[in-house]
Amino acid sequence: MSAFAHKLPAEWHSRAVHVNVAGCGGNGCHVLMGLAQLQKALRGLGHPGLEVTAFDPDTVSEANLGRQLFTEEDVGQNKALTLIHRLNIAFGLDWCAIPLEYRPYQRTPDLLISCVDSKQARAGIYDRIRAGKADYWMDLGNGADYGQVVLGQVGPAKKRLPNVAELYPEMLRGYENDAPSCSLAEALTHQELFVNRALTAFALHLVWTMFRRGKIRVAGCFLNLQEMTTVPIPLKGAIRSASPERRRAA
């Protein structure tokens, strides 16, 4: 663990924190469920809680069932609208869903959590927020049995946490085929069943630590399910060449 610590803005402890979630599929659906649990915990501790807006243009397909938090009745429905409606009813929330690709909407979020499934989608998000249209940016991405969580900041300030685009630019370069699978069986040939749930557990714990402790000592982690290992990303001295593929081989 890093000897350094990054302190979160003091106002996060006294006001509602605005969170955007970009992508409601494999990682995003578990992130949203975890944020609803976090909301309940924060309210129990006397915190105003979270204001969440979810974005996703995609609809639920048969291939999403089993791996993602959808049922047969959801097939054909928009992912963001479906999940937010369900969470609002179950937890008594008033969160918002926008069935479109991510765009900074109405106000700059305190925290953007991106859960997209290709390098080009991640690059597109960075292009939209690099002028400072987010305070903190947490990016999640994964392959078949590995993935990463990277927390950083955006904007012109010099003293800030570097974001995923600055630490690992290879994660935004090139083309990845993000065409949907036709069936659950086909989808499971591309990704392990619980890789999303395992990865989002680390991401959500980091968010919880931001609120509970008011500071963090790591900027995320690399996860390797095949080896059952995680490697923390230090706040300083992050290795630029540590792509998920290289971490998987380590």
List pLDDT tens digits, range 168-182.
999 998 666 555 544
Measured CA angle at 29 (ends 27, 30), to 5 deg: 70
Distance CA 15, CA 11 (A): 6
Q: What are the boundaries of each domain within the chain? A: 6-249
Which superfamily, per CATH, for 6-249? NAD(P)-binding Rossmann-like Domain (3.40.50.720)
- How confident is the model at residue 106, as a pLDDT? 74
Instruction: Report the candidate in 135, 159, 224 with the shortest Cα–Cα distance to residue 4.
Output: 159
Confidence class for position 64, pLDDT limits 50, 70, 90? very high
For 155-204, write each residue's pLDDT tens digit. 877 788 999 999 999 999 866 655 554 444 555 567 888 999 999 999 99
- Please provide the DSSP assignment of 18-50 as one string: EEEEE--STTHHHHHHHHHHHHHHHHHTT---E
For 133-143, write each residue's pLDDT tens digit. 889 999 999 99
Other beta carbons less than 10 A from residue 112's beta carbon: 26
Residue in this structure with the two tokens 């944020």, named with its chain if needed: 35
- Which phi-psi region, left, alpha or beta, contains residue 174 (left: φ > 0; alpha: ψ -120 to 50)? left
Q: Report the chain's C-alpha Rg in angstroms.
A: 17
